[in-house]
Amino acid sequence: MPKARANSTLPEYDVHDLGLAEAGRKRIEWADKQMPVLRRIRDRFAKELPLKGQRLGACLHITCETANLLRALKAGGAEVFACASNPLSTQDDVAAALVDQYDIPTYAIHGEDRDTYYSHLRAVLERHPTITMDDGADLVSLLHTEYASLAEQVKASMEETTTGVIRLRAMAKDGALKIPVVAVNDAQTKHLFDNRYGTGQSTLDGIIRATGVLIAGSVIVVAGYGYCGRGIASRARGLGADVIVTEVDPIRALEAAMDGFRVMKMIDAAKVADIFITATGDKHVLSSVHFGLMRDGAFLSNSGHFDVEIDMAYLTDTAKKVEKNVTRNVDAYHLSNGRVVYVLGEGRLVNLACAEGHPAQVMDMSFATQAMASEWAAKAKHLEIKVHEVPVEIEQDVAAVKLAAMGIKLDTLTAEQKKYLASWESGT
């Protein structure tokens, strides 16, 4: 454990090994090359210092891309400190580089246990942030319980993912929300691209890295046809899988069927799948009623935010034997019926636990949206205590810069077309 801060029992940082910092720096700079929108923001922030005076506490997956977001926020004048938003998603070399190369106090260790995970969240809150950034709302939730007295100082909190936004809306509905929050996930420049193309590619990447399985010819069940599920299903099909979708929402089930996927109940899909991928934000999507029906050797993975989509407690309690790490990041569960099922990344986000999360090109848009939403919140004179949408101008700016970086040009409306589209008189 590193030395404590002056006049405090709080450590200055807590990472696995500072010796990894140089390797982390190289990967952060490699990712930076693929993040032109965020780079442009970082350069502008360095000149304008829109976050000067803010203490920004970020609870995010500690990856190369996140490091580039934190660099941009620091360039904007904020005092920045960070912790992990998932015990298995931290890249230890990145955490080391943040501390050693970028002077950003970081509390994150890959594989940390639950107590350490929460001690790291506390370390961030004990630095009294004025802006928080969350991925799944664990930090905001702790702020509202153990650290409620700090809420007054918090100008706003940014939320990165669907599950976090759902939790925050539930808090607002219960009258429990004490700070303004910004639903970054709900910006089109975030969920349309990150949740779909990012999760689509990186989920398959995680499964392939963990198992080495051939996707072509495999029967893959995708639970949930939301933004993530659509991306995963289409990428799995692209690699040659026979894809089945399960849903609870009739519109989304219909959409999946018309996109050409087989749609069925999980109880039926459980009998035929080689690989299961949950992406619902819901709990126990794979549960006691399904495990016994599964084929011998089935792979179980989750890409939803929390590790509750697969009922791991039931599986652990009822398995005859559990073999950890039969190959890296894969645990074998020997069921009472004699079959074996393999769980990837302990049922946590498979794309982060077994791979490195989304490609930098897509995180460029998510984190550009995060950075500009933070600037917007920092500059606001007063923000109402509620869940705010990201202003549409931010989305348009991020999309325009991304298109320019990709060398894509688009048409513009003529004056005549603008007039036509705004009128109602002309018809048949």
Binds ligand NAI by CB under 6 A, chosen from 107, 193, 225, 276: 225
Coil/strand/helix, residue 272: coil
**195 makes contact with ligand NAI (CB under 6 A):** yes
- Supply the minimum distance, in Å, between the C-beta of residue 251 and ligand NAI: 8
Phi, psi of 221 (to 5 degrees): -100, 125
Full 3-state SS string of 190-210? HHHHHHHHHHHHHHHHHHHHH
* Region from 23-31, 98-106, 122-130, 298-306 binding ligand NAI, contact rule CB under 6 A: 298-306
- Supply the minimum distance, in Å, between the C-beta of residue 163 and ligand NAI: 4
**246 makes contact with ligand NAI (CB under 6 A):** yes
Strands of the sheet containing 14-15, edge to edge, are 14-15, 106-108, 79-84, 55-60, 131-134, 156-159, 181-183, 387-388
Under a CB-based contact definition with an 8 Å cutoff, are residues 194 and 395 in contact? no
**Cα–Cα separations (whole angstroms), residue 21 to 18, 57, 97, 158, 243:** 5, 21, 4, 28, 41
**247 makes contact with ligand NAI (CB under 6 A):** yes
- Supply the minimum distance, in Å, between the C-beta of residue 239 and ligand NAI: 18
Torsion-angle region of 340 (φ positive above 0: left; ψ -120 to 50: alpha; else: beta):
beta
Coil/strand/helix, residue 25: helix
* Region from 79-87, 211-219, 242-250, 331-339 binding ligand NAI, contact rule CB under 6 A: 242-250
Q: Which stretches within 178-320 are classed as H helix?
A: 188-190, 199-211, 227-238, 250-258, 266-269, 288-291, 312-318
Q: Which is nearer to ligand NAI, 14 or 356 (CB)?
A: 356
**249 makes contact with ligand NAI (CB under 6 A):** yes
Q: How many residues line the site for ligand NAI (CB under 6 A)?
A: 28
* Region from 2-10, 126-134, 144-152, 158-166 binding ligand NAI, contact rule CB under 6 A: 158-166
**190 makes contact with ligand NAI (CB under 6 A):** no
Q: Which is nearer to ligand NAI, 78 or 182 (CB)?
A: 182
- Supply the minimum distance, in Å, between the C-beta of residue 67 and ligand NAI: 17
**Cα–Cα separations (whole angstroms), residue 107 to 95, 305, 371:** 8, 20, 21
* Region from 66-74, 117-125, 160-168, 290-298 binding ligand NAI, contact rule CB under 6 A: 160-168
* Region from 6-14, 51-59, 273-281, 400-408 binding ligand NAI, contact rule CB under 6 A: 273-281
Strands 330-334 and 340-344 come out as: antiparallel
Binds ligand NAI by CB under 6 A, chosen from 34, 85, 162, 369: 162
Which residue number places its CB atom closest to ligand NAI?
A: 226
Binds ligand NAI by CB under 6 A, chosen from 24, 57, 87, 226: 226
Q: Which of residues 337-366 bind ligand NAI (CB under 6 A)?
A: 349, 351
End-to-end alpha carbon distance in the chain: 75
Q: Which residues bind ligand NAI (CB under 6 A)?
A: 161-163, 191, 195, 199, 223-229, 246-249, 252, 279-282, 285, 303-305, 349, 351
